């Protein structure tokens, strides 16, 4: 069949197909990690980027793929399949997709191996990149976290689509003809997401029926774990998994695989060990031991930050090994898995993490503590204590109070000050505190700084301004007794005023004429 192919071409073709299979697995798995992937274009060829595409190699995934292939290549009747499944925190799992790399017998003898086949394989990988974002499992994987995680499994041999439920759909990514056969890449994906699998688990009974609440958007990560720590027991099996705080940045993807010989039993056999996977336990380190029994799920992990867990020991030192060292240790000790994108993205995702998880101590330092008098307390003093940057809780430290003196705002019944309140406030920053300022601790309010309100020109910010002017004094003319007095006075003085004005009639007339 391939007598037309020169031996060099044959070798090249085999190499292309092998690396194409490995890269396919990488693309699929990375697309299900739950985070955005970003790789850089490089104008100068590095020599290590197969198919001229920057696709990182996660060592564990390569290892699993090579193990599944076991030195063989996809051929007729022997397809390489990547199964993507979902596992809930209660232990139920469901197959979502099966990606198949198949070879059929239709050969294209005329095609040039080193050029056309290579370029078409590159195009097929690009198509795979596009299609992996389009199937329903992508959105599920982006939201994985406390309720569920996404697993993968690679196997070699016959394609098994029975786990996808009724009415699954297929999408063909593409085909490439080669002199030894036509490579086809396709995906079969589940439609009916509400259907839970009915497989029997050894420890957990299956949950039948619709469990749609597992697939809702996760609320913002809470800092407390959802499950008790006893899932740690499986550590020696490598079956414990770190939690995911935010699906955008952190990937908790449990990966499992099984060797080709255990095809039928593997699904059941790895289930018990996989129980810990859905736990939202925080900061559980996972040991990926290279010598693990293949029936157990494998986990992508980062270097253990908690005691006694060494980093991935037996993987070849790929460039992505460096990813593992770039873990961020957020404040609450959640681990990132090894499958993080490039380092430039790391810092980005870290700094963007929600809820101040990696989060800036600066939030504390910039707080202004305001002691505000209670609404029903007729005490005049407003104290503004600017928190010293070094002492966040300066409120409770020995006081160095700056008063807003002459502040009429808090004393509506008192006679209004002639000094403008603005002026008073402006001076408050610079004024030395008077002694009367430290007596009223009715309640302490931490000032919330309004957005965009920082003003470098005035020493007072919008929040302070607003607070001060929230209680302006009553207009003097509106207060009853004063008003009554002035009314009476006005009425009395009217005749006199009228007489004066009548004397000056001519002046007024001249004035009016100048206006016209």
**Binding region for other proteins (CB under 8 A):** 36-46, 49, 52-54, 115, 120, 123-124, 126-127, 129-131, 133-135, 138-139, 142, 171-176
Q: How far is the CB of 110 from other proteins (least distance, A)?
A: 13
Q: Give the other-Cβ count within 10 Å of 365's Cβ.
A: 13
Q: How far is the CB of 210 from other proteins (least distance, A)?
A: 20
Nearer to other proteins, 41 or 432 (CB): 41
Nearer to other proteins, 175 or 321 (CB): 175
Query: Where do we find the tokens 């919330």?
Result: 448
Query: Where do we find the tokens 């996977």?
Result: 277
E strands within 440-492?
443-447
Q: How far is the CB of 128 from other proteins (least distance, A)?
A: 9
Q: Which two tokens stand for residue 218?
A: 């996760």
Q: Give the other-Cβ count within 10 Å of 17's Cβ.
A: 23
Q: How far is the CB of 345 from other proteins (least distance, A)?
A: 9
Which residues, in sequence order, are bridge partners of residue 16? Answer: none
Query: Where do we find the tokens 């994108």?
Result: 341
The secondary element (H helix, E strand) that includes residue 173 is strand 169-178
Q: What angle do CA 228, 33, 360 make, to 5 degrees?
A: 70
Q: How far is the CB of 139 from other proteins (least distance, A)?
A: 7
* CA within 13 Å, CB half, 273: 23
Nearer to other proteins, 134 or 377 (CB): 134
Nearer to other proteins, 182 or 329 (CB): 182
Nearer to other proteins, 133 or 454 (CB): 133
Q: How far is the CB of 182 from other proteins (least distance, A)?
A: 11
Q: How far is the CB of 30 from other proteins (least distance, A)?
A: 10
Burial class of 431 by CB neighbour count within 10 A (0 to 12, 13 to 18, 19+)? middle
Residues 6+ apart with CB under 8 A from 282: 223, 225, 242, 243, 245, 332, 333, 334
Helix or strand or coil: residue 425? helix
Nearer to other proteins, 250 or 370 (CB): 250
Nearer to other proteins, 39 or 160 (CB): 39
């Amino acid at each position: 069949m391939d007598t037309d192919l020169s031996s060099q071409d044959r070798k090249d073709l085999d190499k292309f197909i092998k690396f194409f299979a490995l890269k396919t697995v990488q693309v699929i798995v990375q697309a299900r990690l739950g985070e955005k992937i970003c790789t850089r274009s490089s104008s100068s060829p590095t020599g290590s980027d197969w198919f001229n595409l920057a696709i990182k190699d996660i060592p564990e995934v390569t290892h699993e793929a090579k193990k599944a292939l076991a030195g063989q290549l996809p051929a007729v009747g022997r397809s390489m399949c990547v199964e993507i499944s979902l596992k809930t925190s209660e232990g139920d799992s469901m197959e979502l997709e099966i990606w198949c790399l198949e070879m059929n017998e239709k050969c294209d003898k005329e095609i040039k191996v080193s050029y056309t086949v290579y370029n078409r394989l590159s195009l097929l990988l690009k198509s795979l990149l596009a299609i992996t974002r389009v199937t329903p499992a992508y959105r599920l994987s982006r939201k994985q976290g406390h309720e569920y995680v996404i697993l993968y499994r690679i196997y070699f041999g016959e394609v098994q689509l029975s786990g996808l439920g009724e009415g699954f759909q297929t999408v063909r990514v593409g085909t490439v003809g080669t002199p030894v056969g036509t490579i086809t890449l396709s995906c079969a994906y589940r439609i009916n997401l509400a259907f839970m699998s009915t497989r029997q688990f050894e420890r957990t009974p299956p949950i039948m029926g619709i469990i749609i609440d597992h697939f809702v958007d996760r609320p913002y990560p809470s800092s407390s774990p959802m499950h008790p720590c006893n899932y740690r027991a499986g550590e020696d099996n490598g079956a414990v998994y770190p939690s995911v705080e935010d699906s955008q940045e952190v990937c908790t993807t449990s990966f499992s695989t099984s060797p080709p010989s255990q095809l039928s039993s593997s699904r059941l056999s790895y289930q018990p060990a996989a129980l810990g996977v859905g736990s939202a336990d925080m900061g559980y380190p996972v040991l990926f031991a290279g010598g693990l029994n293949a029936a157990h799920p494998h986990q992508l992990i980062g270097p253990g930050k908690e005691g006694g867990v060494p980093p991935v020991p037996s993987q070849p030192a790929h460039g992505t090994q460096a990813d593992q060292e770039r873990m961020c240790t957020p404040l609450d000790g959640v681990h990132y898995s090894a499958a993080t994108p490039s380092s430039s993205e790391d810092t980005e995702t870290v700094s963007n993490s929600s809820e101040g998880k990696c989060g800036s101590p600066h939030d504390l330092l910039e707080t202004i503590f305001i002691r505000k008098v209670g609404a029903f307390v007729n005490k005049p003093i407003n104290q503004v204590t600017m928190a010293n940057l070094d002492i966040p809780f300066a409120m409770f430290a020995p006081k160095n109070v700056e008063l807003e003196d002459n502040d009429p705002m808090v004393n509506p019944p008192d006679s209004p000050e002639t000094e403008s309140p603005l002026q008073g406030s402006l001076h408050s920053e610079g004024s030395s505190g008077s002694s009367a300022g430290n007596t009223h601790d009715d309640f302490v309010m931490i000032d919330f700084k309004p957005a965009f309100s920082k003003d470098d020109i005035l020493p007072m910010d919008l929040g302070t301004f607003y607070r001060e002017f929230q209680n302006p004094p009553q207009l003097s003319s509106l207060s009853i007794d004063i008003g009554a007095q002035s009314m009476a006075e006005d009425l009395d003085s009217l005749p006199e005023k009228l007489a004066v004005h009548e004397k000056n009639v001519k002046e007024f007339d001249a004035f009016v004429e100048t206006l016209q």
